[in-house]
Structure 1
């Protein structure tokens, strides 16, 4: 089979993956704390033919860490993380980190994420407050107080810039390197009564989706033309019956 057909097929697979990634970003444009994904493509060389042939890889996805917009909610159990830090959640997969600061309180006073995962303090223990002790105040360093009594602090964690992130649910991430407790509260903190929105720019993503879709269609047409050319060549070379 022609090498050009293999190259076109590899490009089609790459564009398909890009379309799926962009579509997922657009679908989560309004998901609090969501971090959009991008794909890095690399060239692969094959020596199986008489000459080197370059193929497009299917691409490696990675999560972009830029912060989203801070949105005021007025809910005292909502917090927006400021700076390069993450909240910690206790999940079946271990500790997961998120920028989705929407918390809820169980009847027993445990603070959980909207998905029901316990929110952790800096020591990695689930946070609890008194459901009958009045309004909750959360300071910029995450310290929680009720009626002037300190009940604990929301854990803020930093993830190494070179750590690879894998997604857990929509807004959670699991790094391939251990996260460390944040210590410099001049650089990181939380704002009570706010949440952080997604870092997806819907208009930009839609423009990228249109471009990727057009490229996919163009490659599909190229494949069809290549197949037609190959069939014509087979017919021309086939001995007459």
Structure 2
């Protein structure tokens, strides 16, 4: 049991290390527009079923939280925030990705691009092209873009299934492992021009997690030292016998 206790404690420290990595990453991206926080799901692994089963902590499974962030007014006509569900489509070097960062720029060729320079896509996954000399665009709730009263494009809004596994790309982009569908209902979903969505990271919650992780690590380390002391004493007594 002494050896098992050491392994259980070690598995706990490995899980805490994984949790600490996610907290550090979240804190570093608190001010990143549209960033989605990392979370970790832990399970216990029963290694020895029976009268005295031994449960080990798994190293944890990291996933990306899709909870919305705070929407703030910027007054910039090339900024849009997504209200409700949905993601913007962007063309990246790794294929099509999705983001909640709606800060745009218009290139000299007229292509509407993200702040990172990736083309913004319509519902058909085609780049949106504006008139570089056509003045500031007006963007309606359903994503329709107007310049000087003339419709010039429509922003794509895409729905990612809740059970999709997401991987990161760029500052705030994600790539799902499943197909996405264009959003058709703009009753509760849509765009708000002149606004931008911040990260969905709660600073107070992250600090609380950091304190909890630190205390848990100290407690686990203390227990490992106690177990090792017992082991050494046992070996010594056996040697004397």
TM-score normalized by the length of structure 2: 0.93
Which residue is 1:44 aligned to?
45
> Which SS does the other structure have where 1:209 is aligned?
helix
Which residue is 1:227 aligned to?
228
Separation of aligned partners in 1, 2:195 and 2:44: 43
Which residue is 1:27 aligned to?
28
> Which SS does the other structure have where 1:2 is aligned?
helix
Deviation track 1:38-95 (CA, whole Å, cap 9, x = no partner) reads 1111110113999531100111112222211111111111110111100001112211
Separation of aligned partners in 1, 2:134 and 2:221: 64
Aligned residues: 240
C-alpha change, 1:169 and 1:236, in structure 2 (3 Å) is farther
Separation of aligned partners in 1, 2:188 and 2:96: 23
**Structure 2: stretches of 5+ with no match in the other structure:** none
Which residue is 1:191 aligned to?
192
Separation of aligned partners in 2, 1:21 and 1:109: 38
**C-alpha displacement of 1:209:** 1.1
Which residue is 2:98 aligned to?
97
Which residue is 1:201 aligned to?
202
Separation of aligned partners in 1, 2:177 and 2:89: 15
Separation of aligned partners in 2, 1:189 and 1:227: 59
TM-score normalized by the length of structure 1: 0.93
Separation of aligned partners in 2, 1:112 and 1:230: 63
Separation of aligned partners in 2, 1:58 and 1:201: 24
RMSD: 1.8
**C-alpha displacement of 1:119:** 0.9
Deviation track 1:91-116 (CA, whole Å, cap 9, x = no partner) reads 12211111011111211111111222
Map 1:49-128; keep pairs closer than 5 Å: 51-128=52-129
Separation of aligned partners in 2, 1:51 and 1:170: 47
**C-alpha displacement of 1:216:** 1.1
Map 1:126-145; keep pairs closer than 5 Å: 126-145=127-146
Runs of 4+ in 1 over 3 A off after TM superposition: 48-51
